[in-house]
Each structure stands twice: as structure tokens, then as C-alpha cells.
Structure 1
Amino acid sequence: MDHNNSSRKPLKVHLVTSTDSNEFTHLTQALTRTSLVGLDAEWKPIRTPQDSFPTVSLLQIACRLNDRRGSDSDESGDSVVFLLDLYSIPLPSIWVLLRDVFVSPDILKLGFRFKQDLVYLSSTFCAQGCDPGFDWVEPFLDITSVYNHLQHGRNIPKQNKSLATICGELLGFSLSKELQCSDWSRRPLTEEQITYAAMDAHCLLKIFNVLQEKVSEEGIPCHNTNELSNLDANLGLKEILREHDMSTKILRTKFSEALDIVRASTYSDVSQMIAPTGELVSKSSSRDTLPMDESLLKIVKKYGEKILLKESDKKPKASKRKGKRQSSINGICKEKPLENVYEWEGPPPWDLSIGGDGCPKFLCDVMVEGLAKHLRCVGVDAAIPYSKKPEPRDLIGQANREKRVLLTRDAKLLRHEYLIKDQLYRVKSLLKNEQLLEVIETFELNISEDQLMSRCTKCNGRFIQKPLSTEEAVEAAKGFQRIPNCLFDKNLEFWQCMDCRQLYWEGTQYHNAVQKFIDVCKLSD
């Protein structure tokens, strides 16, 4: 299947559900043609402390494909993402393949805080008899390190920015994290989940490209072979073998054999070198991989890292909290009990019986901004915070002044003692369509087809009641908005927002949106 990304070229995405499938064959072939992969994993969120790690249900592998010598493949230089459905594939059948990828010196692995993912992956595979799971990933490069290298250099303290923020700053597009906490254990996966998972891995390659271009422009030299790096052992073996007069192919073979000895020595039990199928396997990859090119080697030598799991990493940390922490001043508790604030208890602030105007109004915080646009599309007044990073007190104040119900998924907001009763509702659903239905049902909103697309999705303003002709719209748009020439001969009606002056017209996009919300809100039933 093809999914569009931020570039013009569609991203190739393959969902792998069986080792007998064409997708799995494509995966094994791609892994012989790549020197760079982005790794990510998804699992069902756990709301309370557990005695075991979550079970990983999806592993994403984004590959940047190289061209083999003599190959005229039209996929040369392309990126492709494989989504391994770990609920469908027998894990012992792919354990060796993944372990070889994780430790292959020919493949640079990219990740975003991937150590936790590796811990969960190792636990998931161990539970299926794939002992000892996965112990290390090398060579590795964390995207957070890439960002810090690009922004400040290595001597500046690291900044813990989100992947979405890094994408916005380096790539210029927003990476939605709305589905991060969706139920990844449910099958089949939705189209939205597949797209989200693929982009999470693919963006790692895009961010790395920025670093690689900078390294190329600056002409950063390789480290002197006497300097130590995160690949000390590997580079040392290479230098020892390089003293002999060998061809590159023989050198790689000898290095691989020597590396086997080093890696095998880290295991105290010979049985740990046996695959779950009972088959004795080599500790190095037997795949016919391509060596890294010079530009990648430079980056590995300068910035390369390693993830190495200790035994303590593989054991869940027992929660030390005996109960909810509470602080008090003069005996007054500063934390409110949460049991009673998850369900809405009216009346809402717009209710006529308490002096409201009868018009439902909401304030959606940053965690449900997508819900705000959906509410506007069905004609409901839905504002967003004044600032991008508002303090809880500011959110509460804005909701109170404008007589709005604050919608959020942030449980921390429920713990503030200054919360005003019947002013906040915690949205339970994760997907925007489901969130919209939840709010409509909870607050008993009356949605009609006439209300659809009656508010500005950009600023929440109302439209000017009288539609504009094409000539009037052209005049209103001067110096502000460009109207496509193809609309001039279609005799369309235009509508303008009274607040931000944005122009809208009843084209294909409009009719598709109307039909979408007719279906979502079941208005045709």
C-alpha cells in the first residue's frame, strides 16, 4: 500500500503478518540493500503499574535502500517501511533476523529513545521462548543526539524535545502524536494507525538526512584510528586486520569472524547461542549485506552510540508509591480525589437555568486540539488556549471567563484545588471521531445537517450570513488569499469568516467534509 508523506513521492509501506508472505520476502531483501534503518515499536498503553513489561505488538523498520552494483532497480535511493505485526508472526521465526540487524556493523540504526523499546521487545520475545531476547543495538544513533548535534554541538547539555517538535523544527512539518496511546493490540489495525506507525519510523530517516547533509557540507573528517569511540572494539579489530594485505571482501569476512568471537564471549551459556527453533546459529549476520559508504562511516565514527541492556534493565521496576502523594498546608489537602471527576455532572455553564445563553461552548487544550476542529465542523463553538503552552491556571481562567467547558485528556489538570465545579471534562476516547461522538452524547448536543461547516475551522469564527459572489470574493481576497482560477467559471457561492476573513467555497472538499460528518454523527439515520 502507498501512503503520502511530506515529500512528493509516496511512501512505500508493507504490513508483514507472515514469514510466508511476499512482504516478508521483500523485507529480507531490503535488509540486504540498506545501510540505514529507523526503528520504532508500538504497544498497548498500560494505565497502572504492572509486574511485567508491556507486550510489543508492532515493530516498524524504515529502510533507506542502496543500489547494488550492476542493478538498474528503479527503487534505488527510495525509502520503504515495514510494519511487523508481532501478534501474527511467530516470534521465534524472526528472532535471528532481527538480532542480526540490531548488531550488524553494516547497518546504522536510528531511534528515538529506543532503549525502552528494546527492553519491551526483548521481554516480548523472551516470553515466546526467544531467550535471551535482545541485548544490544550497535551502531546506533539517537535522534535526540542528532538534533543536539545540529543545534548546538556535543558540548552543550542535551535538550529533551519530543519527536514531533524535532520534526517541526528540522523538517518543517508536524508529526501528529494523536494515535500514540491508541490500542495497538486490536486487530485489524486501522488505516490511520498504519499511517501513523509508518511515519514515526520514516521521519527518523528524514531527520538523519539533515545531519548527513551538514556533515557533507562541513567535510567532517573521520576520527584518527588511534582515537577511541563508541565502536572501540569493532574499529580495533579492523585496524589489526588491516595490517595484513587483504582485499576488502576478505577483510570483512575476517572481521566478521573475529567479531563473532568477541560477541560469543559475552555469553556464559552456550545454549544462549541456539535459536528458539533448536537450530545452532552464528552470532553474526550471514546475510549478504552491503558495506557502509564513506559518508555513513564518518558519521558512525564521530557520533555512533551503542545500546547495551544490563540484567537490571530487563526487570520491571516495582512502584514505590504506596498511595497517591498528597501535600497539605494547615491540614488542607491540595490534591482532589479523582474518582468523581471523570464523569460529567451538569449543568454546563451555558445552561439557561444558571444564567447561561444556551449555546454550548468548549475550550480544547493542546491534547485535544484536533477535537476542536471537529467540533467547529459540526457548528459547535470550540476555542483553543491563547498561548501554545498555557499554565493550568490560565486554562481554567479562560474557561471561566468565557463560560466554557474545558476539554482535556490531561489527568494532572484534575488535581488542582482551584478547579471550578462543572467546568472541566476529561475526554476518554483517543480518536477524533470517537471524541466528537463522546462530547455530543455527554453534553446532549443537538447537531443538524444545517449546522455542518458553519464555523471557521481556522479561528472558530462565524461566517458572514450572506454568501459572496465570485466578484465579491475576489475583491475580499485581495492581498490576503488567492482564489484558484478554476473556480471562476463554476458559479460557486463563497463564505467569509467574520473574524479572520478567511474565504471558503462549496467545492469538492466542502462536500466531502459535509458527508463525512453526516456519517460520523449518523445524521442520515
Structure 2
Amino acid sequence: MDAPPPFAVHLVTGGASSPELALLLRSLAAARVVALDAEWKPRRRGPGGDAPNSPPPATAAAPPPPPAPQFPTVTLLQVACRGDGAGEGGAAAAAEVFVVDLLAVPLADLWESLRELFERPDVLKLGFRFKQDLVYLSATFAAALGRGAGFVRVEPFLDVTNVYYYLKGHDLQKRLPRETKSLATICDELLGVSLSKELQCSDWSCRPLSKGQIQYAASDAYYLLDIFDLFHQKIRIEGKCLPTNELTSDGHFAPRDIEDAICSDSYLASIVVKYSEKISLTESDTKPHSSRRKGKQKFDANAKCKEKFEGSTKWQGPPPWDLSSGGDGCPKFLCDVMIEGLAKHLRCVGIDAATPSSRKPEPRELLNQTYKERRILLTRDVKLLKYQYLASNQVYRVKSLLKHDQLAEVIDTFQLKISEDQLMSRCTKCNGRFIQKPLTLDEAIEASKGFQIIPSCLFNRNLEFWKCTDCNQLYWEGTQYHNAVQKFLSLCNISD
């Protein structure tokens, strides 16, 4: 069982008279930094897919017109607020975390405060690729309250993707790398937090919400504040504080307004001036684009492929590492991009689990890597099964949807033997092994320079640090480590 998150969550489900909504509105009014995220029901194409608000089917005599494309309805808004109260050295004030059920809260009671928040120059808004969230959120409010109730801009805004690249040493004045990182990857690399994405595609329109859904949704907003804290701390340490009379490149705000509004923290003011941006929605952003024909063709192709190969998904050994086949007896897997979470779980129990070298590999690339490294390709893509003739006994389709279940399925299918000393013996980031001798705190700080930030809260603890021999990522045996060990002891049925 996963450890509870390090924060309390306020679930907002009532109208203007509810104490939860009143607390949310007070927190928004007092906030200086606000992290935002949204959830909606995922769309599924083809027969059985969703078509919200679609008309009833027409009679045979009058074929129905193609439905107008619509944006998904946002059903959940996550907000993490931080107000005044930063202490010496930039110590962060406490955060209030809210999960707002937009199916239960009257949108009219929330709209004005939300629009004001989006446009207030004295509040820095944080998000992760938030423009799409804003488009869907604006359409949701406009559909309920009228066209004028949409949102047109968020300013000042800071995307944590840019923060991530800054903390990794990338010059934000130059073009950012084309490779995109998921929020889970960013949290793992910067905070050492494993952000489960098992519930990402759950039906967010169903009520009641489960405890796991609420915690998952709240985490996506809360950890944006933690990532910003690292950025804020780095700005202070490096002394990269601009005078607040310097204009932004496109003149979003009058700098004197910012200085007056955020005068209690000149470093925060300088971050707003130098690094913030603006999200603006144009008219084209508010109009959904139809791709029905393309989606239908894609569904038909997938359906035919699934029908053709559904009967050949059972594993038939022996695996390439089998001693009788000339292998070394050490299980090795290659997890495609659809099940990268399973790769991390396999690494946590000490199993060699590689991922593709490119983000969108061709089937031939996957098969070549599988064959050369004597691995088994694990995939959820049924289309890859047709290549089994090129890599005999080296392609297996994982049937389970959740990471825990996928791990149990792979262990059972391939009869893997997991011992306690294997747990947490591989780097979850790159699949490398750890050095045999642990590092002291001083050695870890030296090893992390220019590469990884060690949270200051660890300095006064008697901890051992471990470094990956391949990517040099640092790990330490803190609370999350011990919680993870207990979780995998249970998953693998190991008696501790």
C-alpha cells in the first residue's frame, strides 16, 4: 500500500455557503503562488466511445449528421496555494491543497474568483503544460454560464517544464530541448518522489471519487510548489536577482506594480519579471477541430489487428536468458513506451528492465534492441505481436492495466524469483546498478554539484547515500525508500 501524501487535501463539493469553498476563496485571495491542474473524462474513439451532449440517433430514413466536435468537460480542478509567510533563507510557507469537484460546485460561485486569480499580477501561477487545461476549463465554464464566462489568459505564469530545464543547467534564453518530460519523471528526478500515474486515465466523471483519485489529483498540484521551491532556492543561492525596474521582454506588466505587489520577497519579484510568461487563448484555441475520419480509420485498423492477434498472446518459452538456450540465467526485459511505469517497478525489485532509446521507436528498432541484448519485449500494443516471427519467444503482451498488477503478471508468467536483497538495487531512472560502498553526506554533496540538488532537510540526518554507476543519480534511504521496500515485499510475497 502506498504511503499517504505529505499534505492534507480539502475536497470542495459545496456552493457559496460551504466552509470548504469559503476556505478556497480566502486562500486564493491571500495567495502569492498558486499551482493549478485539471482533470476530465478521457475520450475513447470508435464504437462505445463518449459523445457528451450528443443528440439521439436519427431514423434510418434520415442519416444523422456528423456530431460537432466538443471539448471534454473538466470535472475536477486542483489548486495548491501558498500565501505570505516565507521565512529566513526563503523557507516556504505552508500550502493549502484543494480538489474542487466541478460537478458539485456551482460554477457561478467560482467563476469570478478564478478569473481574477488568472489575471492578478501579484500572484504567480504554476502549471504543467497548462494551456490545454485552460482551453478545456474555459469551454466548461462557457458552456455552463454563457460565452462570456470563458477564460482568455493566465498571467504571470511559469511552466514547471522550464523550471526543470533551468535546474538541469539549461539556458532558458535558448531553445528548449525537443524531448518532453512527464510530470512523474520531473518529480522523480528533482524531488525523489514517485508520482503514480495509474489513475491518470480513470473516469473522472464518475462519483463518488475514490481516495486514491483524490490523492492522485491533489499530488499533481502540490508537487508543483515543491519544484518551484527548488527553483526559488537556486535563484537565491546563485544571487540571480534582477532589479525590479527591469522590464520583461514583452512588457506584460508594469514592473513597479510587481514590486509593490510582491515587495516582501524581491527574489520572487525578480523571478516573475525575468522568467514568467503569459498564456493567451486565441479564437482558434476555443474551437475544437474534428478528426473523426482519421480517428475512425485508426480504430478500424486497431480492431482488425486485435482480432487477428488476440489468440496468440500467451507466453511460450523458453526465454532467451534460459541456461538451456545459452543464456546467463539473468532475466532481462525491454518495456515499450506504453508501460514505462512497469519498467520502474521491475527495477525496484532488482530486474534488468530497459526502455527504448528513442521516445517514438519504430517496431524494427524495438526488435533489434530485443534481439541484440537477448531481452523479452514487454508491450501493451497488440500490433507488435505480428513481429513475433522476427524475434521468436521474445515478445510478450502485458494484459494488466495497473503497474502493481503488471508486475505480478510478469513475475508469475516468467516465474521470476525475487529476494529481499534485490529490492531497490537498481536505479529507477536509467536501470543502472548502484556502487557497492555508500557515500557520506559530504561525499554526496560533492557528487551532486552541478547535477542534483540535495534537499536541505537531509543535512542534519545520519543518512547513507547511494550513487548509480551509470547516470550518477543520488538516492538515500529515507521514508520513501522504506515505504517502497515494504510495498514491494508485499507485492512479491517476500517475508521480511
Structure-2 residue corresponding to 1:126 = 142
Q: How big is the shift at 1:335?
A: 11
SS of corresponding position for 2:8? strand
Equivalence map 1:402-481=2 (5 Å): 406-410=377-381, 413=384, 424-427=395-398, 429-435=400-406, 456-458=422-424
1: CA distance, partners of 2:288 / 2:104: 25
**How much has 1:116 moved relative to structure 2?**
0.6
How far off is 1:33 after superposition? Answer: 2.6
C-alpha distance in 2 between matches for 1:421 and 1:192? 40
- More deviation in 507-516 or 162-171? 507-516
**Residue 368 (structure 1) aligned to one of 339, 345, 369:** 339
Change over 3 Å in CA distance of 1:324–1:84 after alignment to 2: closer
Inter-partner Cα distance in structure 2 for 1:372 and 1:106: 43
Residues 97, 421 of structure 1: CA spacing in aligned structure 2 closer, same or farther, 3 A cutoff? farther
2:190 corresponds in structure 1 to 170
The one-character-per-residue Cα deviations of 1:209-239 (angstroms, maximum 9, x if unpaired) are: 22222332324223535x454453x418959
- Within the candidate set 336, 351, 354, 1:385 is matched to 354
Q: Distance in 2 between matches of 1:80 and 1:213?
A: 20
Measured in 2, the distance between the counterparts of 1:404 and 1:154 equals: 39
- Structure 2 counterpart of 1:34: 31
CA contact (8 A) 2:378 2:398 kept: yes
User: Normalising by structure 1, what TM-score?
Assistant: 0.61
CA distance in 1, matches of 2:30, 2:333: 50
- The residue aligned with 2:153 is 136
Which residue of structure 1 lines up, in the alignment, with residue 285 of structure 2?
A: 313
AA aligned to 1:67 is G
Matching of residue 300 in structure 1 with residue 272 in structure 2 = yes
Residue 230 and residue 428 in structure 1: after superposition, are their counterparts in 2 closer, same or farther (change >3 A)? farther
Q: CA deviation at 1:299?
A: 1.4
Shift of 1:121: 0.8
Residue 188 of structure 1: which of 201, 208, 215 is its match? 208
Structure 1 residue 61 corresponds to structure 2 residue 79: yes
Q: For 1:197 and 1:87, how far apart are their aligned partners in 2?
A: 15
Amino acid at match of 1:385: A
Aligned CA distance change for structure 1 residues 429 and 510 (closer, same or farther; 3 Å): closer
For residue 340 of structure 1, give the secondary structure of its aligned residue in structure 2. Answer: helix
Please tell me the root mean square deviation across aligned C-alpha atoms, in Å: 4.9
Q: CA deviation at 1:136?
A: 1.0
Q: Which residue of 2 aligns with 1:498?
A: none
* TM-score normalised to structure 2 length: 0.64
* 3-state secondary structure, aligned to 2:82: strand
Match of 2:21 among 21, 24, 27: 24
Of the three residues 190, 211, 224, the one matched with 2:245 is: 224
CA distance in 2, matches of 1:142, 1:427: 34
Residue in structure 2 matched with residue 109 of structure 1 by the alignment: 125
Letter in 2 for 1:409: R
Instruction: Name which one, 1 or 2, has greater alpha-carbon Rg.
Output: 1
How far did 1:120 drift?
Answer: 0.9
Name the aligned partner's letter for residue 242 of structure 2. P
Q: Which residue of 2 aligns with 1:493?
A: none
1:348 is aligned to 2:315 = yes
**In 1, distance between residues paired with 2:162 and 2:483?**
44
Distance 1:311 1:411 in 2: 39
Question: Secondary structure, in 3 states, of the residue corresponding to 1:30?
Answer: helix
**In 1, are the aligned partners of 2:76 and 2:101 still within 8 Å (CA)?**
yes
Structure-to-structure mapping, 1:186-265, within 5 angstroms: 186-216=206-236, 217-224=238-245, 227=247, 229-232=249-252, 234-235=253-254, 238=257
Q: How many residues align?
A: 403
Partner of 2:162: 145
How far did 1:45 drift? Answer: 2.0
Question: Would you say the 8 A contact 1:57–1:185 is kept in 2?
Answer: yes
Distance 1:309 1:292 in 2: 31
SS of residue in 2 equivalent to 1:54: coil
The Cα shift of 1:3 comes to: 7.2
Inter-partner Cα distance in structure 1 for 2:323 and 2:311: 18
Letter matched to residue 307 of structure 1: I
How many angstroms does 1:453 deviate by? 6.4
Task: Flag structure 1 segments of 5+ consecutive residues without an equivalent.
Answer: 70-74, 243-247, 253-289, 327-333, 461-478, 483-506, 519-525
Q: Which residue of 2 aligns with 1:47?
A: 44
Q: Deviations over 1:80-124 (max 9, x none)?
A: 221112222222221222112111222110111110110011112
Identity of aligned residues (%): 43
Alpha-carbon distance between aligned partners in 2 of 1:177 and 1:424, rounded to the nearest angstrom: 24
Q: Does the 8 A contact of 2:317 with 2:393 survive in 1? A: no
State how far apart, in whole Å, the 1-side matches of 2:119 and 2:99 are: 20
Q: Is the 8 A contact 2:14 2:105 kept in 1?
A: yes
Match of 1:265 in 2: none
Contact 1:123/1:133 (CA < 8 Å) preserved in 2?
A: yes
CA drift at 1:387: 6.8
Asked if 1:83 corresponds to 2:99, the answer is yes
Alignment-derived partner of residue 15 in structure 1: 11
